[in-house]
A and B are shown apart, each in its own frame.
Chain A
Amino acid sequence: MLNAINLQKTFNPGTINEKVALAGATLHLEEGEFCTVIGGNGAGKSTFLNAVAGVWPVDGGQILIDGTDVTGLPEHMRAKYLGRVFQDPMTGTAASMQIDENMALAARRGKSRGLSWGVTKAERGKYHEMLKELGLGLEDRLTAKVGLLSGGQRQALTLLMATIQKPKLLLLDEHTAALDPKTAAKVLEITDMLIKEHNLTAMMVTHNMRDAIRYGNRLIMMNEGKVILNISGEEKKKLTIEDLLHKFEEVSGEEFTNDTEILSK
Protein backbone atom coordinates (compact mmCIF):
# COMPACT_ATOMS: atom_id res chain seq x y z
CA MET A 1 0.00 0.00 0.00
CA LEU A 2 2.88 2.33 0.86
CA ASN A 3 6.22 2.09 -0.86
CA ALA A 4 8.71 4.71 0.35
CA ILE A 5 12.07 4.13 -1.30
CA ASN A 6 15.35 5.67 -0.15
CA LEU A 7 13.89 9.00 1.05
CA GLN A 8 16.35 11.87 1.50
CA LYS A 9 15.75 15.23 3.13
CA THR A 10 18.14 17.87 4.42
CA PHE A 11 16.79 21.01 6.07
CA ASN A 12 18.61 24.36 5.59
CA PRO A 13 21.30 22.86 3.32
CA GLY A 14 24.55 24.82 3.14
CA THR A 15 23.84 26.82 6.29
CA ILE A 16 24.99 26.54 9.88
CA ASN A 17 21.57 25.02 10.69
CA GLU A 18 21.98 22.19 8.18
CA LYS A 19 20.22 19.07 9.42
CA VAL A 20 20.05 15.76 7.62
CA ALA A 21 16.59 14.54 8.61
CA LEU A 22 16.10 11.61 6.23
CA ALA A 23 19.11 9.67 4.97
CA GLY A 24 17.75 6.88 2.82
CA ALA A 25 14.67 5.86 4.77
CA THR A 26 12.88 2.95 3.12
CA LEU A 27 9.61 1.30 4.12
CA HIS A 28 7.16 -1.00 2.44
CA LEU A 29 3.71 -1.53 3.95
CA GLU A 30 1.18 -4.11 2.77
CA GLU A 31 -2.52 -3.42 2.84
CA GLY A 32 -3.93 -3.78 6.36
CA GLU A 33 -0.58 -3.37 8.10
CA PHE A 34 -0.61 -1.18 11.23
CA CYS A 35 2.95 -0.04 11.73
CA THR A 36 4.16 1.66 14.91
CA VAL A 37 7.21 3.90 14.57
CA ILE A 38 9.64 4.51 17.43
CA GLY A 39 12.98 6.26 17.76
CA GLY A 40 14.66 9.02 19.75
CA ASN A 41 14.18 12.73 19.25
CA GLY A 42 15.52 13.82 15.87
CA ALA A 43 15.50 10.26 14.52
CA GLY A 44 13.31 11.34 11.59
CA LYS A 45 9.96 9.78 12.56
CA SER A 46 7.80 12.88 12.06
CA THR A 47 9.91 13.92 9.08
CA PHE A 48 9.18 10.56 7.48
CA LEU A 49 5.43 11.03 7.94
CA ASN A 50 5.61 14.60 6.64
CA ALA A 51 7.52 13.38 3.58
CA VAL A 52 4.77 10.85 2.85
CA ALA A 53 2.09 13.53 3.42
CA GLY A 54 3.89 15.96 1.11
CA VAL A 55 4.33 18.84 3.53
CA TRP A 56 7.44 19.66 1.46
CA PRO A 57 9.13 17.91 -1.49
CA VAL A 58 11.80 15.30 -0.71
CA ASP A 59 15.38 15.82 -1.94
CA GLY A 60 15.62 12.26 -3.20
CA GLY A 61 13.76 8.97 -3.30
CA GLN A 62 10.30 7.94 -4.38
CA ILE A 63 6.94 7.59 -2.66
CA LEU A 64 4.23 5.31 -4.03
CA ILE A 65 0.80 4.99 -2.45
CA ASP A 66 -1.23 2.02 -3.71
CA GLY A 67 1.00 1.93 -6.80
CA THR A 68 0.57 5.64 -7.63
CA ASP A 69 3.74 7.73 -7.66
CA VAL A 70 2.92 10.77 -5.48
CA THR A 71 6.50 12.08 -5.15
CA GLY A 72 5.69 15.14 -7.28
CA LEU A 73 2.26 15.91 -5.82
CA PRO A 74 1.79 18.83 -3.39
CA GLU A 75 0.14 18.28 -0.01
CA HIS A 76 -3.44 19.12 -0.97
CA MET A 77 -3.34 16.81 -3.98
CA ARG A 78 -2.04 13.88 -1.92
CA ALA A 79 -4.69 14.41 0.72
CA LYS A 80 -7.20 12.17 -1.06
CA TYR A 81 -5.03 9.12 -0.32
CA LEU A 82 -4.31 10.03 3.29
CA GLY A 83 -5.95 10.40 6.66
CA ARG A 84 -3.89 12.40 9.12
CA VAL A 85 -3.90 13.09 12.84
CA PHE A 86 -1.33 15.46 14.30
CA GLN A 87 0.47 15.78 17.62
CA ASP A 88 -1.19 19.11 18.43
CA PRO A 89 -4.96 18.62 18.91
CA MET A 90 -5.48 22.14 17.50
CA THR A 91 -3.98 21.24 14.10
CA GLY A 92 -6.45 18.66 12.86
CA THR A 93 -9.70 20.60 13.06
CA ALA A 94 -11.03 24.08 12.23
CA ALA A 95 -11.81 25.65 15.63
CA SER A 96 -14.28 28.31 14.48
CA MET A 97 -16.37 25.83 12.50
CA GLN A 98 -19.01 23.41 13.74
CA ILE A 99 -18.44 19.70 14.36
CA ASP A 100 -20.65 18.72 11.42
CA GLU A 101 -18.93 21.26 9.15
CA ASN A 102 -15.52 19.85 10.04
CA MET A 103 -16.69 16.32 9.29
CA ALA A 104 -18.22 17.47 6.00
CA LEU A 105 -14.91 19.05 5.00
CA ALA A 106 -13.20 15.70 5.60
CA ALA A 107 -15.95 13.81 3.75
CA ARG A 108 -15.08 15.87 0.65
CA ARG A 109 -11.34 15.29 0.88
CA GLY A 110 -9.93 14.82 -2.62
CA LYS A 111 -13.24 15.65 -4.29
CA SER A 112 -14.00 18.84 -6.17
CA ARG A 113 -15.79 21.41 -4.05
CA GLY A 114 -18.65 23.17 -5.78
CA LEU A 115 -21.71 25.19 -4.93
CA SER A 116 -23.83 22.49 -3.34
CA TRP A 117 -24.39 22.69 0.41
CA GLY A 118 -21.34 22.27 2.61
CA VAL A 119 -23.27 19.89 4.91
CA THR A 120 -26.46 18.13 3.87
CA LYS A 121 -29.24 16.92 6.15
CA ALA A 122 -28.55 13.29 5.26
CA GLU A 123 -24.92 13.76 6.27
CA ARG A 124 -25.89 15.17 9.66
CA GLY A 125 -27.82 11.98 10.43
CA LYS A 126 -24.83 9.88 9.42
CA TYR A 127 -22.42 11.96 11.50
CA HIS A 128 -24.71 11.66 14.50
CA GLU A 129 -24.41 7.87 14.30
CA MET A 130 -20.64 7.96 13.80
CA LEU A 131 -20.10 10.26 16.78
CA LYS A 132 -22.32 8.06 18.94
CA GLU A 133 -19.90 5.18 18.38
CA LEU A 134 -17.10 7.23 19.94
CA GLY A 135 -18.99 7.34 23.21
CA LEU A 136 -17.90 10.88 24.04
CA GLY A 137 -21.32 12.51 23.91
CA LEU A 138 -20.37 14.55 20.86
CA GLU A 139 -23.39 13.32 18.88
CA ASP A 140 -25.65 15.85 20.59
CA ARG A 141 -23.29 18.73 19.88
CA LEU A 142 -23.19 18.54 16.08
CA THR A 143 -23.53 22.29 15.66
CA ALA A 144 -21.11 23.24 18.46
CA LYS A 145 -17.91 25.00 17.45
CA VAL A 146 -14.95 22.61 17.56
CA GLY A 147 -12.95 25.21 19.50
CA LEU A 148 -15.13 24.42 22.53
CA LEU A 149 -14.01 20.79 22.67
CA SER A 150 -11.23 19.42 24.86
CA GLY A 151 -7.94 18.20 23.38
CA GLY A 152 -8.97 14.57 23.65
CA GLN A 153 -12.36 15.20 22.05
CA ARG A 154 -10.68 17.09 19.23
CA GLN A 155 -8.21 14.24 18.62
CA ALA A 156 -11.06 11.71 18.57
CA LEU A 157 -12.95 13.91 16.11
CA THR A 158 -9.82 14.29 13.96
CA LEU A 159 -9.48 10.50 13.92
CA LEU A 160 -13.06 10.14 12.81
CA MET A 161 -12.48 12.76 10.11
CA ALA A 162 -9.31 10.99 8.95
CA THR A 163 -11.26 7.76 8.44
CA ILE A 164 -14.61 9.19 7.29
CA GLN A 165 -13.55 8.22 3.76
CA LYS A 166 -11.40 5.11 3.87
CA PRO A 167 -7.85 6.45 3.36
CA LYS A 168 -5.21 4.38 1.57
CA LEU A 169 -2.93 5.23 4.46
CA LEU A 170 -3.58 6.65 7.92
CA LEU A 171 -0.76 8.78 9.35
CA LEU A 172 -0.74 9.28 13.13
CA ASP A 173 2.01 11.61 14.29
CA GLU A 174 2.29 11.17 18.08
CA HIS A 175 -1.40 11.92 18.23
CA THR A 176 -1.72 11.09 21.92
CA ALA A 177 1.44 12.85 23.13
CA ALA A 178 -0.36 16.05 24.17
CA LEU A 179 -3.10 14.25 26.11
CA ASP A 180 -3.31 13.15 29.74
CA PRO A 181 -2.68 9.40 30.27
CA LYS A 182 -6.34 8.47 30.65
CA THR A 183 -7.47 10.40 27.59
CA ALA A 184 -4.47 9.13 25.63
CA ALA A 185 -5.50 5.55 26.39
CA LYS A 186 -9.07 6.26 25.28
CA VAL A 187 -7.91 7.88 22.01
CA LEU A 188 -5.58 4.94 21.36
CA GLU A 189 -8.47 2.56 21.92
CA ILE A 190 -10.59 4.48 19.41
CA THR A 191 -7.64 4.45 16.99
CA ASP A 192 -7.30 0.69 17.24
CA MET A 193 -11.06 0.22 16.87
CA LEU A 194 -11.26 2.37 13.73
CA ILE A 195 -8.22 0.72 12.14
CA LYS A 196 -9.65 -2.77 12.74
CA GLU A 197 -13.17 -1.82 11.72
CA HIS A 198 -12.11 -0.40 8.35
CA ASN A 199 -9.06 -2.67 7.88
CA LEU A 200 -6.82 0.38 7.44
CA THR A 201 -3.17 0.59 6.59
CA ALA A 202 -1.61 2.88 9.19
CA MET A 203 1.59 4.36 10.54
CA MET A 204 1.67 5.55 14.15
CA VAL A 205 4.61 7.47 15.59
CA THR A 206 4.85 7.10 19.36
CA HIS A 207 7.31 7.76 22.15
CA ASN A 208 5.75 5.07 24.26
CA MET A 209 7.42 1.67 23.73
CA ARG A 210 4.64 -0.20 25.48
CA ASP A 211 2.04 1.24 23.09
CA ALA A 212 4.34 0.53 20.15
CA ILE A 213 4.49 -3.11 21.17
CA ARG A 214 0.86 -3.52 22.18
CA TYR A 215 -0.69 -1.97 19.07
CA GLY A 216 -0.27 -2.87 15.43
CA ASN A 217 1.21 -5.82 13.60
CA ARG A 218 4.42 -4.16 12.51
CA LEU A 219 7.08 -2.09 14.29
CA ILE A 220 9.93 -0.04 12.92
CA MET A 221 12.63 1.87 14.76
CA MET A 222 14.29 4.90 13.21
CA ASN A 223 17.67 6.42 13.93
CA GLU A 224 19.55 9.20 12.13
CA GLY A 225 17.07 9.36 9.29
CA LYS A 226 17.03 5.64 8.53
CA VAL A 227 14.83 2.69 9.38
CA ILE A 228 17.17 0.59 11.50
CA LEU A 229 14.82 -2.07 12.80
CA ASN A 230 11.87 -3.78 11.18
CA ILE A 231 9.78 -6.29 13.12
CA SER A 232 6.56 -7.99 12.07
CA GLY A 233 4.41 -11.10 12.47
CA GLU A 234 5.06 -13.54 15.32
CA GLU A 235 8.24 -11.74 16.31
CA LYS A 236 6.27 -8.54 16.95
CA LYS A 237 3.73 -10.37 19.13
CA LYS A 238 6.43 -11.77 21.41
CA LEU A 239 8.39 -8.53 21.62
CA THR A 240 9.28 -7.06 25.01
CA ILE A 241 10.73 -3.69 25.92
CA GLU A 242 14.00 -5.34 26.96
CA ASP A 243 14.21 -6.99 23.51
CA LEU A 244 13.73 -3.60 21.88
CA LEU A 245 16.43 -1.91 23.92
CA HIS A 246 18.77 -4.78 23.25
CA LYS A 247 18.02 -4.75 19.53
CA PHE A 248 18.64 -1.02 19.35
CA GLU A 249 22.13 -1.45 20.80
CA GLU A 250 22.80 -4.30 18.43
CA VAL A 251 21.74 -2.46 15.29
CA SER A 252 23.00 1.02 16.00
CA GLY A 253 26.12 0.00 17.86
CA GLU A 254 25.30 2.60 20.49
CA GLU A 255 24.37 2.27 24.10
CA PHE A 256 20.76 3.10 24.81
CA THR A 257 21.56 5.80 27.30
CA ASN A 258 20.01 9.16 26.62
CA ASP A 259 17.22 7.77 24.56
CA THR A 260 16.12 5.35 27.26
CA GLU A 261 14.52 8.24 29.03
CA ILE A 262 12.97 9.60 25.87
CA LEU A 263 11.55 6.25 24.80
CA SER A 264 9.69 5.88 28.04
CA LYS A 265 8.71 2.44 29.12
Chain B
Amino acid sequence: MGIETLIAGMPGTVAQGIIYGIMALGIFITFKLLNFADLSVDGSFATGGAVAAMVIVSGKSWVLALVLAFVAGAAAGLITGILHTVLGIPDILAGILTQLALYSINLRIANNQPNTPISVDKYNLAVSLRYKEDALITVLIFAVIIIAIMYWFFGTELGSAIRATGTNPAMAKAQGINVNFMKALGLVISNAIVAFAGALFAQFNGNADVNMGRGAIVIGLASIIIGDVLCNAIFRKKRNFISTLSFVVFGGILYYLFIAIVLWMKMPANDMKLFTAIIVAIFLAVPYLKNKANSSFRKAAREGGKNNA
Protein backbone atom coordinates (compact mmCIF):
# COMPACT_ATOMS: atom_id res chain seq x y z
CA MET B 1 0.00 0.00 0.00
CA GLY B 2 1.35 3.38 -0.90
CA ILE B 3 1.22 6.61 1.03
CA GLU B 4 -1.83 7.68 -1.01
CA THR B 5 -4.01 5.17 0.89
CA LEU B 6 -2.98 6.81 4.13
CA ILE B 7 -3.69 10.27 2.74
CA ALA B 8 -7.01 9.25 1.23
CA GLY B 9 -8.09 7.88 4.59
CA MET B 10 -7.03 11.03 6.41
CA PRO B 11 -10.49 12.65 6.86
CA GLY B 12 -11.77 9.42 8.39
CA THR B 13 -8.70 9.11 10.60
CA VAL B 14 -9.08 12.66 11.86
CA ALA B 15 -12.83 12.18 12.44
CA GLN B 16 -12.14 9.06 14.51
CA GLY B 17 -9.48 11.00 16.41
CA ILE B 18 -11.94 13.79 17.17
CA ILE B 19 -14.43 11.23 18.53
CA TYR B 20 -11.68 9.97 20.84
CA GLY B 21 -10.97 13.62 21.66
CA ILE B 22 -14.60 14.19 22.71
CA MET B 23 -14.33 11.13 24.94
CA ALA B 24 -11.10 12.54 26.36
CA LEU B 25 -12.89 15.83 27.17
CA GLY B 26 -15.20 13.80 29.41
CA ILE B 27 -12.26 12.04 31.05
CA PHE B 28 -10.54 15.43 31.46
CA ILE B 29 -13.30 16.48 33.91
CA THR B 30 -12.61 13.65 36.34
CA PHE B 31 -8.88 13.16 35.74
CA LYS B 32 -7.75 16.80 35.66
CA LEU B 33 -10.47 18.90 37.30
CA LEU B 34 -11.81 16.55 39.98
CA ASN B 35 -8.53 14.72 40.59
CA PHE B 36 -10.53 11.47 40.48
CA ALA B 37 -9.15 8.45 38.60
CA ASP B 38 -12.45 7.25 37.14
CA LEU B 39 -12.19 3.87 35.43
CA SER B 40 -15.94 3.55 34.80
CA VAL B 41 -15.45 5.15 31.37
CA ASP B 42 -14.40 1.84 29.80
CA GLY B 43 -17.95 0.73 30.59
CA SER B 44 -19.84 3.95 29.88
CA PHE B 45 -18.20 4.37 26.43
CA ALA B 46 -19.68 1.00 25.42
CA THR B 47 -22.96 1.90 27.14
CA GLY B 48 -23.24 4.93 24.87
CA GLY B 49 -22.64 2.71 21.84
CA ALA B 50 -25.15 0.07 22.94
CA VAL B 51 -27.88 2.58 23.73
CA ALA B 52 -27.38 4.45 20.45
CA ALA B 53 -27.41 1.22 18.42
CA MET B 54 -30.62 -0.02 20.02
CA VAL B 55 -32.38 3.33 19.51
CA ILE B 56 -31.32 3.39 15.85
CA VAL B 57 -32.22 -0.27 15.23
CA SER B 58 -35.68 0.42 16.67
CA GLY B 59 -36.13 2.96 13.87
CA LYS B 60 -35.79 6.16 15.90
CA SER B 61 -33.59 9.05 14.81
CA TRP B 62 -29.89 9.47 15.57
CA VAL B 63 -30.72 12.62 17.54
CA LEU B 64 -32.65 10.56 20.08
CA ALA B 65 -29.84 7.99 20.02
CA LEU B 66 -27.26 10.63 21.03
CA VAL B 67 -29.53 12.15 23.68
CA LEU B 68 -30.33 8.80 25.31
CA ALA B 69 -26.68 7.71 25.19
CA PHE B 70 -25.82 10.95 27.01
CA VAL B 71 -28.45 10.24 29.67
CA ALA B 72 -27.35 6.60 30.09
CA GLY B 73 -23.74 7.74 30.57
CA ALA B 74 -24.89 10.25 33.18
CA ALA B 75 -26.63 7.43 35.07
CA ALA B 76 -23.45 5.33 34.94
CA GLY B 77 -21.48 8.25 36.37
CA LEU B 78 -24.04 8.64 39.12
CA ILE B 79 -23.52 5.00 40.14
CA THR B 80 -19.77 5.55 40.54
CA GLY B 81 -20.52 8.77 42.41
CA ILE B 82 -22.84 7.01 44.86
CA LEU B 83 -20.39 4.12 45.37
CA HIS B 84 -17.69 6.63 46.22
CA THR B 85 -19.48 9.32 48.22
CA VAL B 86 -22.36 7.49 49.93
CA LEU B 87 -20.72 4.08 50.39
CA GLY B 88 -17.16 5.29 50.91
CA ILE B 89 -15.52 3.07 48.27
CA PRO B 90 -12.13 4.45 47.08
CA ASP B 91 -12.25 6.20 43.69
CA ILE B 92 -10.38 3.64 41.57
CA LEU B 93 -12.32 0.71 43.03
CA ALA B 94 -15.68 2.49 42.64
CA GLY B 95 -14.90 3.02 38.95
CA ILE B 96 -13.76 -0.57 38.43
CA LEU B 97 -16.96 -1.90 40.04
CA THR B 98 -19.13 0.26 37.78
CA GLN B 99 -17.10 -0.75 34.74
CA LEU B 100 -17.54 -4.44 35.58
CA ALA B 101 -21.26 -4.08 36.25
CA LEU B 102 -21.72 -2.13 33.01
CA TYR B 103 -20.38 -5.04 30.94
CA SER B 104 -23.43 -7.11 31.93
CA ILE B 105 -25.75 -4.12 31.68
CA ASN B 106 -24.46 -3.23 28.21
CA LEU B 107 -25.15 -6.80 27.05
CA ARG B 108 -28.68 -6.54 28.40
CA ILE B 109 -29.21 -3.20 26.65
CA ALA B 110 -28.07 -4.86 23.41
CA ASN B 111 -30.47 -7.80 23.85
CA ASN B 112 -27.56 -10.07 24.83
CA GLN B 113 -25.91 -9.55 21.44
CA PRO B 114 -22.18 -8.83 21.79
CA ASN B 115 -22.28 -6.92 18.51
CA THR B 116 -25.14 -4.85 17.08
CA PRO B 117 -24.62 -3.79 13.45
CA ILE B 118 -26.06 -0.42 12.39
CA SER B 119 -25.36 -0.13 8.69
CA VAL B 120 -25.54 3.27 7.07
CA ASP B 121 -27.36 1.55 4.16
CA LYS B 122 -30.29 0.69 6.39
CA TYR B 123 -30.36 3.58 8.87
CA ASN B 124 -29.92 7.31 8.93
CA LEU B 125 -26.81 7.94 11.06
CA ALA B 126 -25.18 11.06 12.49
CA VAL B 127 -21.77 10.03 11.20
CA SER B 128 -20.39 7.18 9.11
CA LEU B 129 -17.02 6.02 7.88
CA ARG B 130 -18.66 5.78 4.43
CA TYR B 131 -18.99 9.57 4.19
CA LYS B 132 -15.66 10.63 5.66
CA GLU B 133 -15.77 14.33 4.84
CA ASP B 134 -19.33 14.80 6.17
CA ALA B 135 -18.45 12.82 9.28
CA LEU B 136 -15.37 14.98 9.86
CA ILE B 137 -17.40 18.19 9.73
CA THR B 138 -20.13 16.77 11.98
CA VAL B 139 -17.79 15.55 14.73
CA LEU B 140 -15.81 18.79 14.54
CA ILE B 141 -19.02 20.76 15.17
CA PHE B 142 -19.87 18.49 18.11
CA ALA B 143 -16.37 18.95 19.55
CA VAL B 144 -16.56 22.74 19.24
CA ILE B 145 -19.99 22.82 20.91
CA ILE B 146 -18.82 20.62 23.80
CA ILE B 147 -15.67 22.69 24.31
CA ALA B 148 -17.76 25.88 24.33
CA ILE B 149 -20.21 24.45 26.86
CA MET B 150 -17.39 23.17 29.09
CA TYR B 151 -15.62 26.52 28.91
CA TRP B 152 -18.81 28.27 29.98
CA PHE B 153 -19.84 25.74 32.62
CA PHE B 154 -16.52 25.56 34.45
CA GLY B 155 -16.50 29.36 34.64
CA THR B 156 -19.86 29.43 36.46
CA GLU B 157 -20.36 29.32 40.21
CA LEU B 158 -21.26 25.64 40.05
CA GLY B 159 -18.33 24.77 37.77
CA SER B 160 -15.93 26.71 39.99
CA ALA B 161 -17.22 24.74 42.97
CA ILE B 162 -16.41 21.48 41.14
CA ARG B 163 -12.89 22.74 40.37
CA ALA B 164 -12.35 23.85 43.98
CA THR B 165 -13.47 20.41 45.16
CA GLY B 166 -10.90 18.78 42.89
CA THR B 167 -8.06 21.08 43.94
CA ASN B 168 -8.63 21.35 47.68
CA PRO B 169 -11.60 19.58 49.30
CA ALA B 170 -10.78 21.00 52.76
CA MET B 171 -10.93 24.54 51.38
CA ALA B 172 -14.10 23.76 49.42
CA LYS B 173 -15.85 22.54 52.58
CA ALA B 174 -14.76 25.64 54.49
CA GLN B 175 -16.35 27.73 51.72
CA GLY B 176 -19.64 25.88 52.18
CA ILE B 177 -19.31 23.59 49.17
CA ASN B 178 -20.87 20.13 49.44
CA VAL B 179 -17.89 18.18 48.09
CA ASN B 180 -19.73 14.87 47.79
CA PHE B 181 -22.40 16.47 45.61
CA MET B 182 -19.75 18.16 43.43
CA LYS B 183 -17.81 14.90 42.96
CA ALA B 184 -20.98 13.07 41.93
CA LEU B 185 -21.99 15.91 39.59
CA GLY B 186 -18.54 15.87 37.95
CA LEU B 187 -18.74 12.09 37.44
CA VAL B 188 -22.23 12.43 35.93
CA ILE B 189 -21.15 15.07 33.39
CA SER B 190 -17.92 13.22 32.59
CA ASN B 191 -19.55 9.86 31.88
CA ALA B 192 -22.38 11.52 29.95
CA ILE B 193 -19.84 13.03 27.53
CA VAL B 194 -17.94 9.73 27.33
CA ALA B 195 -21.16 7.84 26.46
CA PHE B 196 -22.01 10.52 23.89
CA ALA B 197 -18.62 9.87 22.27
CA GLY B 198 -19.36 6.14 22.41
CA ALA B 199 -22.62 6.74 20.53
CA LEU B 200 -20.73 8.64 17.81
CA PHE B 201 -18.05 5.93 17.69
CA ALA B 202 -20.61 3.14 17.18
CA GLN B 203 -22.37 5.00 14.35
CA PHE B 204 -19.09 5.97 12.70
CA ASN B 205 -17.91 2.37 12.61
CA GLY B 206 -21.35 0.91 11.79
CA ASN B 207 -21.66 -1.30 14.86
CA ALA B 208 -21.78 -1.26 18.63
CA ASP B 209 -19.58 -3.86 20.25
CA VAL B 210 -19.69 -4.80 23.91
CA ASN B 211 -15.89 -4.67 23.96
CA MET B 212 -15.55 -1.28 22.25
CA GLY B 213 -14.81 0.47 25.54
CA ARG B 214 -11.84 -1.68 26.43
CA GLY B 215 -8.87 0.62 26.97
CA ALA B 216 -10.99 3.78 26.56
CA ILE B 217 -9.51 5.26 29.73
CA VAL B 218 -5.96 4.78 28.45
CA ILE B 219 -6.81 6.29 25.05
CA GLY B 220 -8.47 9.21 26.85
CA LEU B 221 -5.45 9.73 29.08
CA ALA B 222 -3.17 9.47 26.04
CA SER B 223 -5.14 12.27 24.35
CA ILE B 224 -5.09 14.44 27.47
CA ILE B 225 -1.38 13.94 28.07
CA ILE B 226 -0.33 14.39 24.42
CA GLY B 227 -2.49 17.52 24.30
CA ASP B 228 -1.07 18.79 27.58
CA VAL B 229 2.56 18.37 26.50
CA LEU B 230 1.93 20.11 23.16
CA CYS B 231 -0.17 22.89 24.66
CA ASN B 232 2.60 23.68 27.13
CA ALA B 233 5.19 23.61 24.38
CA ILE B 234 3.23 25.97 22.12
CA PHE B 235 1.42 28.36 24.46
CA ARG B 236 3.66 28.18 27.54
CA LYS B 237 2.47 30.91 29.93
CA LYS B 238 -0.26 32.13 27.58
CA ARG B 239 -2.16 28.86 27.85
CA ASN B 240 -5.76 29.22 28.99
CA PHE B 241 -8.75 26.93 29.51
CA ILE B 242 -9.92 27.13 25.88
CA SER B 243 -6.51 26.16 24.53
CA THR B 244 -6.22 23.36 27.11
CA LEU B 245 -9.58 21.89 26.07
CA SER B 246 -8.86 22.29 22.35
CA PHE B 247 -5.57 20.49 22.78
CA VAL B 248 -7.30 17.57 24.50
CA VAL B 249 -9.21 17.02 21.24
CA PHE B 250 -6.05 17.67 19.24
CA GLY B 251 -4.33 15.03 21.39
CA GLY B 252 -7.06 12.58 20.40
CA ILE B 253 -6.46 13.33 16.71
CA LEU B 254 -2.70 12.86 17.05
CA TYR B 255 -3.16 9.65 18.97
CA TYR B 256 -5.37 8.14 16.29
CA LEU B 257 -3.14 9.45 13.53
CA PHE B 258 -0.28 7.58 15.11
CA ILE B 259 -2.37 4.41 15.30
CA ALA B 260 -3.37 4.82 11.63
CA ILE B 261 0.28 5.16 10.58
CA VAL B 262 1.25 2.11 12.61
CA LEU B 263 -1.59 0.12 11.01
CA TRP B 264 -0.61 1.41 7.56
CA MET B 265 2.91 0.14 8.22
CA LYS B 266 1.29 -3.31 8.44
CA MET B 267 1.75 -3.78 12.15
CA PRO B 268 -0.61 -6.49 13.45
CA ALA B 269 -3.87 -4.95 14.72
CA ASN B 270 -3.71 -7.18 17.79
CA ASP B 271 -0.63 -5.29 18.96
CA MET B 272 -2.49 -1.96 19.05
CA LYS B 273 -3.12 -2.01 22.81
CA LEU B 274 0.59 -2.57 23.35
CA PHE B 275 1.39 0.44 21.15
CA THR B 276 -1.16 2.57 22.99
CA ALA B 277 0.39 1.68 26.34
CA ILE B 278 3.85 2.52 24.98
CA ILE B 279 2.69 5.91 23.63
CA VAL B 280 1.11 6.84 26.96
CA ALA B 281 4.21 5.71 28.85
CA ILE B 282 6.44 7.81 26.58
CA PHE B 283 4.32 10.94 26.89
CA LEU B 284 4.12 10.53 30.67
CA ALA B 285 7.85 9.90 30.98
CA VAL B 286 9.18 12.64 28.68
CA PRO B 287 8.20 15.69 30.78
CA TYR B 288 9.46 13.91 33.92
CA LEU B 289 12.80 12.92 32.40
CA LYS B 290 13.23 16.35 30.84
CA ASN B 291 12.66 17.97 34.19
CA LYS B 292 15.05 15.54 35.82
CA ALA B 293 17.71 16.21 33.23
CA ASN B 294 17.43 19.92 33.99
CA SER B 295 17.93 19.45 37.70
CA SER B 296 19.76 16.27 38.52
CA PHE B 297 22.17 15.54 41.34
CA ARG B 298 24.78 14.42 38.83
CA LYS B 299 24.52 17.76 37.06
CA ALA B 300 24.63 19.61 40.37
CA ALA B 301 27.82 17.77 41.32
CA ARG B 302 29.39 18.48 37.92
CA GLU B 303 28.44 22.17 37.85
CA GLY B 304 29.36 22.68 41.49
CA GLY B 305 32.77 21.17 40.89
CA LYS B 306 33.32 23.49 37.95
CA ASN B 307 32.49 26.63 39.89
CA ASN B 308 34.81 25.79 42.72
CA ALA B 309 37.67 24.69 40.55
Binding site for B on A (CB under 8 A): 53, 75-77, 79-80, 82, 84, 86, 90-97, 101, 104-106, 108-111, 113-119, 161
Contacts and interface: CB of A to CB of B under 8 A. Distances in A.
A105 B168 contact: no
Contact of A96 (B158, B163, B170): B163
A115 B158 contact: yes
Nearest to A147: B167
Contact of B175 (A79, A115, A116, A117): A79
Given A92-B171, A115-B156, A76 B164 contact: no
B159 interface: yes
Contacts of B79: none
A36 B178 CA distance: 30
B174 A97 contact: no
Q: Is the interface of B mostly helix, strand, loop or mixed?
A: helix
A242 B171 CA distance: 38
B179 interface: yes
Contacts of A116: 156-157
Nearest to A80: B176
B6 interface: no
Contacts of A106: 175
Given A93-B168, A97-B167, A118 B157 contact: yes
B176 A94 contact: no
A113 B163 CA distance: 13
Contacts of B159: 118
A63 to B, nearest CB: 16
Given A91-B171, A95-B167, A117 B156 contact: yes
B171 A94 contact: yes
B156 A109 contact: no
Interface string B165-186: 0011011111111110000000
Q: Is the interface of A mostly helix, strand, loop or mixed?
A: loop
Given A116-B156, A118-B159, A77 B171 contact: no
Contact of B156 (A79, A91, A96, A118): A118
Nearest to B174: A84
Contacts of A90: 168
B167 A108 contact: no
A76, A106, A117, A161 — most chain B CB neighbours (10 Å): A76
A150 B164 CA distance: 19
Top 6 A-B pairs ranked by shortest CB distance?
A: A79-B176, A118-B160, A113-B157, A94-B167, A109-B176, A94-B168
Interface in B125-175: 153, 155-161, 163-164, 167-168, 170-175
Contacts of B160: 97, 101, 104-105, 113, 118-119
A76 B173 CA distance: 5
A54 to B, nearest CB: 9
B174 A75 contact: yes
B158 A114 contact: yes
B200 to A, nearest CB: 26
A84, A91, A94, A119 — most chain B CB neighbours (10 Å): A94
Contacts of B179: 76
